[in-house]
Chains A and B, each alone.
Chain A
Amino acid sequence: KAGVTQTPRYLIKTRGQQVTLSCSPISGHRSVSWYQQTPGQGLQFLFEYFSETQRNKGNFPGRFSGRQFSNSRSEMNVSTLELGDSALYLCASSTNGRTQETQYFGPGTRLLVL
Chain B
Amino acid sequence: AQSVSQHNHHVILSEAASLELGCNYSYGGTVNLFWYVQYPGQHLQLLLKYFSGDPLVKGIKGFEAEFIKSKFSFNLRKPSVQWSDTAEYFCAVNAPSGGYQKVTFGTGTKLQVIP
Within 8 A of A (CB), among B91-105: 92, 94-105
| Tally of contact residues, A, Cβ under 8 A | 28
Query: Cα distance A58–B96 when bound, in Å?
Result: 14
Main secondary structure of the interface of A (DSSP, over half): strand
Would you call B11 an interface residue if the criterion is a C-beta within 8 Å of the partner chain's C-beta atoms?
A: no
* Contact status of A56 and B105, CB under 8 A, knowing A90-B44, A99-B96, A106-B43: no
The number of chain B residues touching the other chain, given as a range, is: 20 to 34
Flag if A56 contacts B102 (CB, 8 Å). yes
B102, A45: Cβ atoms under 8 Å?
Answer: yes
Chain A nearest CB, measured from B50 CB (Å): 10
By a beta-carbon cutoff of 8 Å, the part of chain A in contact with chain B is 31, 33, 35, 41-45, 48, 50, 55-56, 58, 90, 92, 94, 97-108
